[in-house]
Amino acid sequence: MLIKSPKSHTLREAHITPETAYVSRRRVLAGLGAGIGSLLLARQSHGLDLLGGKSRQAAPRKPLTFTAHKPAPELILTPEPKVITHNNFYEFGTGKTDPAENSQHLKTEPWTLRVEGEVEKPATVDVWKLMNEIGLEERIYRMRCVEAWSMVIPWVGFELGKFLQRFAPTSRARYVAFETLYDPEQMPGQRNRYVGGGVDYPYVEGLRMDEAMHPLTILSVGLYGKTLPPQNGAPIRLVVPWKYGFKGIKSIVKIKLVERMPPTSWNKLAPQEYGFYANVNPAVDHPRWSQASERFIGPGGLFSVKRQPTLPFNGYGEEVAGLYSGMNLKKFY
Ligand code: MTE
């Protein structure tokens, strides 16, 4: 297996290549520590059929009933076709179009979510029933990937904090641990480490309790008014708008409240590159590229990707900076 050590110039490709060119290329990450966004080994789509894309027909999405808010005038939405074809979901391959191509057969209904750990009332929740009774709202958020691209997405969901209160967290609950479905039969990246980018599956993520309880933090069940497509994390995923996109764990089956900081997938793979906190911070560069600016994937055609400055806490500093007062954000990246 060819393993190229990552060099900073290899990462520039996404910065200078028109979006349509780089999203159509499939990549397989080879080896540990490669990191998100590394260009390591390209595989032609007619090459090894490791991904097993069973069905190219889009999985049906249901319309949702939700409360809409007046959108902030400065936010320009990323068009829906781009939101659902430019994805990171390594369980379905590491190329940006792999998740849309290879996840359409994922069985998302029925789906249960287990909430346990430091709670007085652990329970297993039927996610589809939950969608009907919880009261959904639309949240239009900026989304900043650690790879230095960004979108603006109209999510539909509910506040994680309000949801967690149902289970009566104990005083020992200091962190929240999340887990994605582990099902190698349905997820080719979990069957083959080259397809899955070397991630140790199931994909896991975590938040500090106060981050989880913050009203900006949501569990999303939809986007653009309809249920999530599989490639975006159907039927339920996390959205934390002031953190890098990799915190937004997809297709969640378990939430556990815990006393100690839980392990997180990208931190396990490359701890020097991806921290637990992962707050969007233009002043703290990724070891292999700058985080000072980003390519906004917005409306328009081929050359519409716009470079713009990255905002501290992705523009949500007023609401969340207080969570980190006194903390050295270079050390706790
Ligand atoms: N969740 C799982 N289970 N597997 C993944 O590979 N990728 C993360 C995150 N959640 C990922 C995941 C990364 S790196 C990003 S940037 C976002 O999902 C991308 O979300 P999107 O495809 O909906 O834009």
203 lines ligand 1 (CB under 6 A): yes
Closest protein CA for atom 4 of ligand 1: 89
pLDDT surpassing 50 at residue 158: yes
Residue type, 207: L
pLDDT value of position 25: 31
Q: Please give the average per-residue pLDDT across 224-235, as a whole number.
A: 98
Q: 220 and 93 in contact (C-beta within 8 Å)?
A: no
pLDDT value of residue 5: 35
Q: Give the pLDDT band of residue 333 (cuts 50, 70, 90).
A: very high
The pLDDT of residue 70 is: 87
The full 3-state SS of 87-111, as one line of letters, equals CCCHHHCCCCCHHHHHCCCCCCCCC
Residue 246 CA to ligand 1 center (angstroms) comes to 5
| Selection from 146, 181, 189 nearest residue 288 by Cα | 146
Q: Is 140 helix (H, G, I), strand (E, B) or coil?
A: strand
Q: Is the pLDDT of residue 163 over 60?
A: yes
Residue 326 Cα to ligand 1 midpoint, Å, equals 30
- pTM given for the model: 0.87
**CATH number 3.90.420.10 is the correct assignment for the domain at 7-324:** yes
pLDDT at 176: 99
With a 6 Å cutoff on the Cβ, whether 35 touches ligand 1 is no
**198: pLDDT strictly greater than 60:** yes
pLDDT bin (cut points 50, 70, 90) of residue 39 is very low
* pLDDT tops 90 at residue 104: yes
Q: What is the DSSP string of 220-276?
A: EEEETTEEPPGGGTTT-EEE-TTB-GGGS--SEEEEEEESSPPP-HHHHH-TTT--S
CA distances from 246 to 35, 108, 147, 330 (A): 11, 21, 10, 18
Ligand 1 center from residue 171 Cα (angstroms)? 31
Domains of the chain: which residue ranges?
7-324
CB atoms within 10 A of CB 295: 18
The Cα–Cα gap between 264 and 260 comes to 12
Instruction: Among 8-17, 203-212, 304-313, name the one with the lowest average pLDDT.
Output: 8-17
Mean pLDDT (whole number) for 4-23:
31
User: Does residue 249 have a known ligand-binding role?
Assistant: yes
Question: Is 203 labeled as ligand-binding?
Answer: no
> Predicted confidence band at 238 (pLDDT cuts at 50, 70, 90)?
very high
Planar angle of CA 293, 299, 302, nearest 5 degrees = 85
pLDDT in tens, 105-151: 999 999 999 999 999 999 999 999 999 999 999 999 999 999 999 99
Q: Is 219 helix (H, G, I), strand (E, B) or coil?
A: strand
The pLDDT mean for the chain works out to: 87
Cα 99 to ligand 1 centre (Å): 10
Nearest CA to ligand 1 atom 22: 87
Cβ atoms of residues 27 and 94 within 8 Å: yes
- Ligand 1 pocket: which of 77, 89, 90 to mutate (most atoms within 8 A of CB): 89
Of 156, 255, 272, 269, the residue nearest 206 (C-alpha): 255
Preceding peptide of 110 cis, ω within 30°? yes
Mean pLDDT of 283-306: 91
Residues 73, 66: contact at Cβ < 8 Å?
no
- Rounded to whole angstroms, the Cα distance separating 184 from 201 reads 9
